[in-house]
Amino acid sequence: MKKLKIVLQSNKIFYIFLLVSLLYTFIYVNLYDYKVTNQTKYTGYISDYSIDGDKLSLIIKSKDKIKINYYFNSKKEKEKFNLSYGDYIDIYGKAEKPSENTNFKLFNYRNYLLSKKIKYEVLASNIKLKRKNKNIFFKLKISIIKSIEKRKNTKNYLKAFIIGDKNEIEKSFLDSYKFLGISHLLAISGMHISLISILIFKLIKKRLPNFSYLIVSIILLFYLFLTNFTISMVRACLEFILFSINKVFKFNIKNTNIVILLLCVLLLYNPYFIFDIGFRFSFSISYSLMLFRPIIDKEKRYIIKSLLISVISFLVSIPILINSFNQINILSIIYNIFYVPFISYIIFPMGLLTLIFPYLDATYIYFINIFENITMILSKIKILSFDVSNIPIILCILYYIFIYFLITKFNKKKIIILFLIFIIFINYKRYSFNAKVTFIDVSQGDSILIRLKDKNVLIDTGGKINYKVESWRKRKSKNNITNYTLIPYLKKDGVKKIDYLILTHGDFDHMGESINLVNNFKIEKVIFNCGKYNNLEEILINVLNKKKIPYYNCVKRININENILYFLNDNLYDNENDNSNVIYTKINNYKFIFMGDVTMKVENNIIENYKLNNIDVLKVGHHGSKTSSSKKFIESINPKYSIISVGKNNKYGHPNKETLENLKNSKIYRTDKNGGIMFNLKNNKLKIKTCFR
């Protein structure tokens, strides 16, 4: 035992273990061979479930953890649904690979599921109950959740603060919490564990002093079960248990080393935890506050001490915030000084009391209203909030090294350096030294980003073509392409504004997201095609007029720095597709042509009027439809690379076999098979990168 204590008290052992664990994680996630089972029947018990409209989502545990998706056939079937936690069921269906991100650096759903130990999804055709739950722990969990569900006014926040379910909180409030940098306070983690453990200790320490740690640990493990083993809760609970063992058995291991040990064990158990934002936030902030505990404890004034904790937490979280949300709000340092005690000592304890004593609902909603109203007011203050592009890992490591020396050996010179680092982070990638053309995957639609030093051009926005014109006026869909693809991608690439939004024509799959984009991103100018404005374009023009954004139609050319975009199609036709803007440009001596949705008729006119040959990059017209890309046209321009922007398994059968045959002498890239496609132009060299390799 003495030898073990000596070994465990050595810092080197833990840091070596950390390096080995990180190396293992890196190798595992890059070499993991993803396989899907051929089973058609799955048996297990329900560990979690949710219903969204007609969709039922289940997490079941058997040999593996599996996500089940099932769609109710009728309203009556949905009303009869009576499955719950712990029920043992049979599922019939086909396993599918969860989708990956189809655009660079965006959310990867597959990694998200793997971080929760879920290896594949199953689209269920039938679900059969084998036996109802008989487990006392599941029954207790169901009882608590049912008690929360009965509260009409407070259940959304009770679910968030008691069981870690934020799904019922309004999106506008969630966005505001994220903007203020306080969304971590809605996640059940160390703060909740500290409050619960302190409360239980005070109740039992005098009566059961020898068993207090054990009893608290058992209660925390049940709470871990209640919250579905979220990783931040796993970290907090296991930390408490390990700290307790260290104290009881007098190992005298540093708390920071215990955190490192726990981090390593969890990564060895599941390397995909590294993709969980809660995992990264929880461990980085927890470790940092313990590492700098001696400095924090020197300060005796409560406000200054709180400010110091908030500053350390903020500085440590910056790279994670940037690479996860591409946004930082410096005022969150101040906000957390108010919000942390407000939630720790009022909202969370009041939630526990309200769960036990329902008559406190009115008092609880009063404090929730204060919380929400203050948040909405503060979210309007945007003076120190910045959109930031992704930061490379090497810069993150160098940043953390600097932060360590800043906090341990503080001086004014380092504050100046920190300020300069902020300036670099905020403006990183804002100026593109190399020209770049990216074909963004927007499914069945077009969207192309052209970066020319400090100028940015977006050709089309994509859009879901099944939307009706009437609903488009007031569309507030959570799942639109703008919020989940375009703006996140623009932010991650360092784009602060679009200098020219060029809409090739007025079809939904090309401009369906234009209003969302104009309302949520800085647009300098909008370019329409020739011809009369259709209904969609007129709706957008009303928005542009209100925002005083200038717009033009039927332009001949645009000069951007030393580059010129030529608009080749100025004839008027009797259909929207043929009136598409056709854009030609030469970037670093490489020729690009973007064909919109024009048909062979327009292609013939272009051949007759312009001497185009040996095109380097062709954006294929009309998603590879048989109406475009005639053999005559392709032989005339002789493209080296052909890009087809097309949705996976689309109902139109794009791209057409005949079109692919016409393009066979070029290298074909498709967004349905390659995801996003990027052309980097540097020193007169062209480098091509695709999201799927």
Domain boundary among 390, 409, 425: 390
Q: Is residue 414 part of a domain?
A: no
Peptide bond into 655 cis (omega under 30): yes
Instruction: Read off the pLDDT of residues 135-160 as tens digits, 9 standing for 90 and up.
Output: 999 999 999 999 998 888 889 999 98
What does the block give as tokens for 66?
Answer: 């599996």
Q: Which domain range does residue 53 map to?
A: 41-134
Q: What is the pLDDT of residues 329-381, one digit of tens each?
A: 999 999 999 998 999 889 988 998 998 898 899 999 999 999 999 999 999 99
Which residue among 336, 360, 390 closes a domain? 390
Residue bearing tokens 């940037």: 322
DSSP collapsed to 3 states, 505-536: CCCHHHHCCHHHHHHHCCEEEEEECCCCCCHH
Residues 679 and 625 reside in one and the same domain: yes
Query: What amino acid occupies position 300?
Result: K
pLDDT band at 430 (very low <50, low <70, confident <90, very high): confident
> Which CATH number does the domain housing residue 673 bear?
3.60.15.10
pLDDT at 475 over 70: no
| Helices of type H across 32-125 | 75-80, 109-114
308 belongs to a structural domain: yes
Q: Which of 83, 112, 134 is at the close of a domain?
A: 134
Indicate if the pLDDT at residue 80 is higher than 70: yes
pLDDT in tens, 81-121: 899 999 999 999 999 888 899 999 999 999 999 999 998 89
Model pLDDT, residue 286? 92
Q: Same domain for 520 and 559? A: yes
Residue 399: inside a domain, yes or no? no
pLDDT tens digits, 375-428? 999 999 988 899 899 999 999 999 999 999 999 888 878 888 888 888 888 887
Q: Is residue 419 part of a domain?
A: no
DSSP β-bridge partners for residue 88? 45, 131
Tell whether the torsion through CA atoms of 387, 389, 390 and 391 is positive or negative. Answer: negative
Whether 353 and 310 share a structural domain = yes
Contact between 457 and 497 under an 8 Å Cβ cutoff? The reply is no
Distance CA 522, CA 460 (A): 15
When divided into structural domains, the chain yields a total of: 3
pLDDT at 399: 93
**What pLDDT does residue 171 have?**
84
- Same domain as 170, residue 121: no
The owner of tokens 């313990």 is 290
Confirm whether 398 is domain-assigned. no
- Determine the distance from the C-alpha atom of residue 65 to the mean position of all C-alpha atoms in its chain, rounded to a whole number: 22
In the predicted structure, residue 476 carries a pLDDT above the cut 60: no
Report the C-alpha gap between 400 and 397 in whole angstroms. Answer: 5
**For residue 4, what pLDDT band results from cuts at 50, 70 and 90?**
low
- Same-domain status, 233 and 115: no
Let me know whether 99 and 150 are in one domain.
no
| Contact yes or no for 253/9 (Cβ under 8 A) | yes
| Eight-class DSSP state of 10 | -
Residue with more model confidence, 633 or 199 = 633
Contact by Cβ (8 Å): 492, 467: no
Q: What is the CA radius of gyration of the chain?
A: 28
How far from the centroid of its chain's Cα atoms is residue 406's Cα? 31
- Percent of the chain clearing pLDDT 70 (strictly above): 96
Q: How far apart are CA 146 and CA 15, in angstroms?
A: 46
| 69-101 burial: b if 16+ Cβ within 10 Å, else e | ebebeeeeeeeeeebbbbbbbebebebeebeeb
pLDDT tier for residue 474 given thresholds of 50, 70 and 90: very low
Q: If you average pLDDT over residues 451-479, what whole number do you get?
A: 70
Same structural domain, 469 and 543: yes
Per the domain annotation, does 624 fall within a domain? yes
- The reply to whether 325 and 225 lie within a common domain is yes
Same domain, 189 and 209: yes
Q: Which residue has the tokens 């790279």?
A: 319
| Residue 658 main-chain phi, psi, to 5 deg | -65, -40
SS3 388: coil
Please check whether residue 30 lies inside any domain of the structure: no
198 and 125 housed in the same domain = no
Q: Do the domain assignments include residue 397?
A: no
Q: Are residues 130 and 155 in the same domain?
A: no
Instruction: Report the candidate in 460, 546, 464, 548 with the shortest Cα–Cα distance to residue 504.
Output: 460
Residues 102 and 175 in one domain: no
State how far the Cα of 242 lies from the Cα of 262, in Å rounded to an integer.
Answer: 9
Q: What is the pLDDT of residues 494-521, one digit of tens each?
A: 999 999 999 999 999 999 999 999 999 9
User: Which CATH number belongs to the domain containing residue 69 in this structure?
Assistant: 2.40.50.140
Strand partners, 583: 567, 594
Q: By C-alpha distance, which of 505, 535, 539, 534 is closest to 622?
A: 505
Q: Measuring CA to CA, which residue among 78, 102, 63, 220 is closest to residue 691?
A: 102
